Structure 1
Amino acid sequence: MDHSPTPRTPAAPPAGRYSRTDDRAADRKLRIAAVVCGVLFLGLIAWLGGSYLLRETKLNGTVPTFQAVSDTELQLQLSVRKSDGTAGVCTVRSQGADGAVVGQSDFQVPAAGSSYVEVVTLRTTARGTTAELLGCTPGKK
């Protein structure tokens, strides 16, 4: 009789007891798909919100150029895109070299036309080094 040990193969785990690697891969793919869908959903919400806000803003203004003509005056170009028939007010300020506000004023935007471009003069208490549009608000109807 031969008493040599016979090689045994390890017993397989019971079926369904442990997660298979295929299940892990499927779970990972589902997580990635969920993250991608979440990011796309947030992007859609941001885009819709931004387009709503831009559509609702009746006056969109900029100050493309400005020039300090003296220590007490700043000339600037005020450019406003707007809905035809919408009047309003745009507020512009200037700061000095030290960052202090040296001038601030409201400029009326007439209702006629869909755009308004005008060179306006801002009075300052010292030489202005900036011209900043703080915002435009539609007039009350």
Structure 2
Amino acid sequence: MQNVMTDSPLDRPASRYGAPQRSRRTRRWVIVGLFAAVVVLGVTIAAVAYSRLGSPEVKGELGGYRVVDDRTVEVTASITRDDPSAPVVCIVRARSYDGDEVGRRELLVAPSTTEIVQVRTTVTTSRPAVVGDVYGCGTDVPSYLVGG
């Protein structure tokens, strides 16, 4: 009888011994690849968040509010925009004592010569309101606000 040595590993039944293990080198590359994927994903999320939440082209801040009656709130807002020659839209709203939104209005802010303008509008409510505020502003003005 003659002993024969081979360089290839023995084939073991996977049902008895489990799946063959990867080499250390293969495992290391898998870990490096996963780490690189996580880093790329993190950078992508940060870039998207900055573009959406970073310094906006237009910002609306509450200047004041006055509850006129059970169905009306007057809201004054200061609008700051990078390009004052472009119209913007702001959403102002009224909220009840429990925090529910009880009225909302889209407000067209026309072009001006200054970066900061102050606007005043009234919001009709469905229930008595206790506060008015500026929900947000943007540069995507709906066509129904500009008549186009």
Q: TM-score range by the shorter chain?
A: 0.5 to 0.7
* In 1, Cα distance between equivalents of 2:82 and 2:7: 70
Rg larger for: 1
Moved more, 34-43 or 96-105: 96-105
Give the secondary-structure state (helix, strand or coil) at the position aligned to 2:131: coil
Q: Over aligned residues, Cα RMSD in angstroms? A: 3.8
- Please give the alpha-carbon distance, in whole angstroms, between the structure 2 residues aligned to 1:108 and 1:36: 47
Stretches of structure 1 that go unaligned for 5 or more consecutive residues are 1-12
CA 1:15–1:76 in 2, change beyond 3 Å: closer, same or farther? Answer: farther
Mapped pair 1:40 → 2:20: no
Q: Is the CA contact 1:103–1:122 (under 8 Å) kept in the aligned structure 2? A: no
Residue equivalent to 1:128? 130
1:34–1:66 CA distance, 2 compared to 1 (3 A): farther
Asked if the contact 1:109/1:116 (under 8 Å) is kept, the reply is no
Match of 2:83 in 1: 83
AA partner of residue 17 (structure 1):
P
Separation (CA, whole Å) in 1 of partners of 2:107 and 2:32:
52
Q: Secondary structure at the match of 1:133?
A: strand
Q: Alignment partner of 1:97: what SS?
A: coil
Alignment length (residue pairs): 125
CA deviation after TM superposition for structure 1 residue 91, in Å: 1.9
Residue 52 of structure 1, CA deviation: 5.8
